[in-house]
Amino acid sequence: MDDVDYAALRLSLWEDPGPRGEVTAWVEGRIAERGGSLLPVPPRVRVRPWSTTARFATSLGTVWFKAGAPGADFEAALAGALHAWAPGRVLTPVAVDAKRGWALLPDGGPPLVDLLGRPRDLGLWESVLRAYAQLQRVLAPRVRDMLALGVPDLRPRRLGALLNELLADRGVSAHLGRDREGVEAFRPEFERLRARLAASPVPLTLDHSDLNMGNVFLLEGGYRFTDWGDASVAHPFTSLLVPLRFAAAEYGATPAELARLRDAYLEPWSDRGSMAELREEAQTALRLGPVSRAMAWGRVFPELRPQVERARDASMAAWLRTLATGELGVPFRDA
């Protein structure tokens, strides 16, 4: 994706004076309802194909407006629901307009990625992953509610059809080239792994799908998880793919350290199987996780697809290619 100048791309939501005025009026109204007002400071806007965010200074403190792309507009409703279902585990929205896909969030302070810097603190990483797994367990009874909000359905029983959909995309297929044969050759194994996850005693729940330390805040002694635009209803262990890749790529976590992080995440699931069984299931979920990542890339570019189509297709193809190669960037070495 490095060849795309996202800073030069703009969603109509902010560039068009009409919609921009609507956003400002909405934010101002929600702050006024709480006895506050906007300060005479221009909002700091960050526009990307997948979302528009704007930082507003108010008499009540900094707030963040967010509107996702049409393919991720469920995020606002989900943010409001998560606060009700799991208070104290997510950022509490100031306001939500589920119909328009708008959310107004408090300032969470610096994310953990900024607090960590370059040094590695495996103890912190382990506690974050445990807390995230506990959040997933709390949300497991809400699968039907999440689907009703429009959260994408990536449950194991649907993965075969979703893979077909990805391979039928001409742009993705073109970028796969001859590697498409490798993905097709992996299909029997894919179906075996998919069926195994479908029969798992581990409950389906919410998969953040992009969990990294930039999406976690430390507030009042607890972790708050945010940025749910890539989320889906899925087998929970697919959530491990991004944080473990992040730990390996950004902080140089060794295979033994990655195994420690994986096991910390699996601890809250210990009533669902032995550690050996959970480790094997985690490996299965990781192997199929690229489907989730490819689907996330595919649904967040509808408005600006002509400008980013090539990069979008290349990224989706790159994720699918790992199905055939198994090169996920998360090697484990168990003690």
Write down the pLDDT at residue 122. Answer: 78
Which residues of the chain form CATH 3.30.200?
Answer: 6-106
Query: Positive or negative CA dihedral for 64, 300, 209, 198?
Result: positive
How many whole angstroms separate alpha carbon 258 and alpha carbon 245?
9
Asked: is 112-325 a CATH 3.90.1200 domain? The reply is yes
How many whole angstroms separate alpha carbon 335 and alpha carbon 333?
7
How far from the centroid of its chain's Cα atoms is residue 4's Cα? 21
Between 112 and 188, name the one with better pLDDT.
188
Report whether pLDDT(145) > 90. yes
pLDDT digit string, tens, across residues 221-265: 789 999 999 999 999 999 999 999 988 888 888 999 999 999 999
pLDDT digit string, tens, across residues 271-328: 999 999 999 999 999 999 999 999 988 876 655 566 678 888 888 999 999 998 889 8
Report whether pLDDT(6) > 70. no
Contact between 288 and 159 (Cβ < 8 Å): yes
Write down the pLDDT at residue 10. Answer: 45
* CATH class belonging to 6-106: alpha beta
Count of CB atoms within 10 A of residue 248's CB?
Answer: 19
How many whole angstroms separate alpha carbon 198 and alpha carbon 192?
10
Backbone angles phi, psi at 47, to 5 degrees: -115, 130
Report whether pLDDT(1) > 50. no
Which residues of the chain form CATH 3.90.1200?
Answer: 112-325
Write down the pLDDT at residue 288. Answer: 95
How confident is residue 142, by pLDDT bands cut at 50, 70 and 90?
very high
Contact between 261 and 243 (Cβ < 8 Å): yes
Residue 90 Cα distances to 22, 220, 270, angstroms: 27, 12, 24
Count of CB atoms within 10 A of residue 181's CB?
Answer: 11
pLDDT digit string, tens, across residues 98-127: 988 899 999 988 888 887 765 567 788 899
pLDDT digit string, tens, across residues 205-226: 999 999 988 899 988 878 999 9
Report whether pLDDT(51) > 50. yes
Report whether pLDDT(13) > 60. no
